[in-house]
Amino acid sequence: MIESEEKKKSGEEKTIGDRIVNILWKVMICAVALVSLHYGRRIFIAERFSIPSDSMRPTLVPGDKVWVNKLLFGGRIYTSLKFDDHSPLKCFRMPGIRKIRPGDVICFNYPLGYDKWTKIEFKINYVYCKRVLGTPGDTIGIHDGVNWNNHNSGTIGVLENQLVLKNTPDSVLWHQKFMKTMPFTLPIWNMKDFGPLYVPGKGETIELDSLNRAIYGPVIEYETGSWPDSTLKAHTFRHDYYFALGDNSLDSNDSRYWGFIPDDFIIGIVN
């Protein structure tokens, strides 16, 4: 009788132990699934960012939270997770639903990741948010403060802010920290009158004179590892590039100053 009770007790303990193990396994599976869903969503579907500055005012203001859609342009998949010591970006992009268009607001890694003027370098968490003025193959510019794109007849950006820039005297603008624009090695433009500028497209070839070396030098150095000298007469681009501005035309650190955004640097399109 005593032996039977001990076996019964042992069996009950074993049953309770099995239940605990099963519960723990289910908890672990749920935890792994939740983590996988979280990071899967961030990689393939959408990611959230905070707006830190006034550069996109009034469209976006400091403290706003934006969702960046990665399905539209395609999620970026890293093939190397080495992000320090000025390591180059290594990745590929999943197929997207559509291309980026002029007027889209995008989030991207700041092209001058280590803050060396004219040197394009990737830095993992150095993220900007701007509005696209030019896509690969477009010719863009700013005339008397107003943005233009040769493939778009409508307004790109906030026209009211562009007219404020237009009506601000040059004598005032020259005291602004952002009056001088790229290319810094050959100053020819300013924040009110800029371009015309061709936005590079992958596979397109451009002839190089002193002006184009100044304009496209950072891109060529990014693609080849060296700044183009006078012996280089032409260059065929290996990437698509984008040109983006802040909606706050008077106070935005954007492509007017640091140039083009490589396609791989783009995180996604803001919903």
Q: Which residues pair with 236 in a beta bridge?
A: 205
Measured distance CA(251)–CA(203) in Å, rounded = 34
- 44 pLDDT exceeds 70? no
Token look-up 């510019």 returns 141
pLDDT tens track for 74-93:
999 999 988 888 889 999 99
Integer-rounded Cα Rg, in Å, for the chain is 26
Q: Average pLDDT in the 152-157 region?
A: 92
Q: What is the mean pLDDT of the chain?
A: 88
Token look-up 């706003």 returns 64
- 73 pLDDT exceeds 50? yes
CATH class for the domain made up of 51-270:
mainly beta
Tell me which of 14-28, 47-61, 87-101, 106-120 is least confident: 14-28
- 197 pLDDT exceeds 80? yes
- 223 pLDDT exceeds 70? yes
pLDDT tens track for 97-127:
999 999 999 999 999 999 888 899 999 999 9
Q: Is 159 exposed, middle or buried (0-12, 13-18, 19+ CB in 10 A)?
A: middle
- 177 pLDDT exceeds 70? no
- 152 pLDDT exceeds 90? yes
β 65-69/205-207 pair status: unpaired
- 211 pLDDT exceeds 70? yes
Tell me which of 9-18, 64-73, 74-83, 232-241 is least confident: 9-18
Number of separate helices (H) and strands (E) present in the chain? 5, 14
- Pick the residue with more confidence: 203 or 6? 203
The residue length of the chain stands at 271
- Work out the number of other CB atoms within 10 angstroms of the CB of residue 258: 21
The answer to whether the CB of 73 falls within 8 A of the CB of 100 is yes
- 221 pLDDT exceeds 60? yes
Domain ranges, ordered by start, for the chain: 1-49, 51-270
Measured distance CA(139)–CA(150) in Å, rounded = 6
Q: Whole-prediction pTM value?
A: 0.86
Measured distance CA(51)–CA(56) in Å, rounded = 9
Measured distance CA(38)–CA(56) in Å, rounded = 28
pLDDT tens track for 236-255:
999 999 999 999 999 999 99
- E runs forming strands in the chain: 46-50, 65-69, 76-78, 91-93, 105-109, 127-134, 139-143, 146-149, 194-198, 205-207, 234-236, 241-245, 261-262, 266-270
Measured distance CA(56)–CA(250) in Å, rounded = 11
